[in-house]
Structure 1
Amino acid sequence: MHAWPASEVPALPGKGRDLQIHDTATQGTITLAPGPVARIYVCGITPYDATHIGHAATYNAFDLVQRVWLDTKRQVIYVQNVTDVDDPLLERALRDNQDWTELAERETALFREDMTALRMLPPQHYIGAVEAIPGIVPLVERLRDAGAAYELDGDVYFSVESDPNFGKVSHLDAEAMRLLSAERGGDPDRAGKKNPLDPMLWMAARPGEPSWDGGSLGRGRPGWHIECVAIALDHLGMTFDIQGGGSDLAFPHHEMGASHAQVLTGEFPMAKAYVHAGMVALHGEKMSKSKGNLVFVSALRRAGVDPAAIRLALLSHHYRADWEWTDEVLAEAVARLERWRAAVSRPDGIPADDLVEEVREALSNDLDAPAALAAVDRWVDLQIATDGDDESAPGLVSRTVDALLGVAL
């Protein structure tokens, strides 16, 4: 599966700073100082609907991570999956009387268009669940043969008790885990499971649903968590730098995936940092497909909203914060974009070397994008109010905003 085109990232003078970021697993801020190559895995979409602002906010956070690392002169290996076969996708296709593969392909294509418009840097490896199945099956067989998985009516489940480190990502108690498991795709009430929290690794073929050859597992399709594990281990190996996604993925998805990988490899942890973006609300409720309270990036673009303004609206909130999308949020972003473009359109201006360092410092401090925007705002206000004579300043500001914030002025 192919990703989307990469926008050019301008080179800035000097060198960026190592990233300090909040790690869900340690419940504190850690400093990530990878070697020459930084490795990140971000969980992708289930393509049964278009990209909404909540998606965009999450991918914007991890786009900032890449930009911070690139500014430190590191190479970045970024991997993202597409869950192009799963119950929600099949249910939507059945509801709308569509072929599930055509639905997945159409919505994935629209996602690519949205990411391109928002100048999100693409992953080097963009892998669909279906194409990953040949690599998933052997992992499930290994877990089963090691006694870490068991069969139930043809389905194969992972035993969470096989991992002594289970629970160290989310730090939730058993009851909270059980409630979230039921809410987020698990089946804790299924009879016959060794532990209600045990997640499915391989679902035996169901009538009328797609299935693939699973070797000794029989025909079926993979569970959600093992999909990401197989892709991550294949392209990044263990103990990569960041496992990322929305805060709703901490449990069960990232918790279960970590346990799968740790039992498979005997290594701990799967990732050095588990980084989670906050949720975006609309009209007082979390933006979600199940509730239908969505603001789509593509709809905003069709309405004539500049993608740079959408990106500035996302950047105006700290990535870990839960926040609400409103017309006012977008209006403020549109106005900010106009001010910034007016300021850098002048032939000369006030010096901007300090601004570059202010933006670097803000982003290295747990991706504090609002502080970075405030720094640019201060320069813009002075630029508009003052007659400067530095001919290089407007261009340097434009390159800084582009390279570090992904906003083209």
Structure 2
Amino acid sequence: MSTFGQYFRVSTYGESHGKSVGCIVDNCPPGLQLTEDDIQPQMTRRRPGQSALTTPRNEKDKVEIQSGTEFGVTLGTPIGLRVLNEDQRPHDYGGGGKNIDAFPRPSHADWTYLEKYGVKASSGGGRSSARETIGRVAAGAIAEKYLRVAYGVEIVAFTSSVGSEFLFPPSREHPTASTNPAFLDLIDKVTRTQVDEFLPVRCPDATVCKRMEQVIADFRDRHDSIGGVVTCVIRHCPSGLGEPCFDKLEATLAHAMLSLPATKGFEIGSGFGGCEVPGSIHNDAFVKAPATAAPLGRSKPKLTTKTNNSGGIQGGITNGAHIYFNVAFKPPATIGQMQDTVGYDGEAGVLEAKGRHDPCVIPRAVPIVEAMAALVVMDAVLAQSARQTARSLLPVLPMTIPVSQSEKGVGAANGHQ
């Protein structure tokens, strides 16, 4: 399916070498100030051609709002977003001896798309191309603006590994980054501006970033590719989000992230490294929340946790702490080396891919991960807002907690703009 979300619904469209790509956003709350200027920064961070370490495809990725706003304000009606493809080169996928389209590219989606649909896009991978993520990023920017204005939510992602180079390598003392004070300090303070100071890799450490850059350059020069991991933190997320049992928030985050092209793994909080930590250390003890001002658009929580190995989610529901997770991306499938393969006709052959491709997707994946995180939280916010508003109309019973005015949803939150 090309639609994500149940309340904040996003349907993407377009192929890599088609006329345009984009999306339709349903159920964006009305009354949000929104122009292309709110969306374009994330589009620019995602676009190709940012450095010598990315594909040289020359696309401006200029977004156009086609519907759903008037005078820079959302109407509550479907928002149409379009980005024109200006630098298509479908001829890179055919011609010259035996047609490249006669071979399924190793580890790409050519063969599986043909098996599923009986036909496939002849160039660029069609919908399996990373260009499909443009619609996600555009929609995510809208979700993110609402979350920031209404709740003060901050979403920041960064490169945490490339190949065997790690920002926080696992150790005997810290098999998981969730117990590493340096990591916890980073996710508490890091900003997108700081991350983008470390272009082209987007790893917020000068020394490690240089090593990662060299790794990518080495694989590029060998006409090869390499994978890595993007880490993302969501700060100031409201508590109470998530729909047990099958739509727990970490489950919808995993769904969102693993729907991205080239993803191969997802872990949240302590992740796989947490398996090596005893429960006496791993358990997040509850403590009284500090006497600070109430979070934007929310009532002040009474409790918080001393540690955060849970990654901000317990029982599938957010607890108000930072949500943080890792997304693993494989090496890009299309490489410039000659590869032995078999054609669609079953005859053996050699494939030497042409075209323009990233040697590592990690730097450009950073804003895409942020976008999908925003879509997940936005969908959960609208679900919980509907529930809280409906509950607020009922009389308060002895066994229930009354819904405060600030928890009733959009109307109260807007008072904090």
Q: TM-score, normalised by structure 1?
A: 0.25
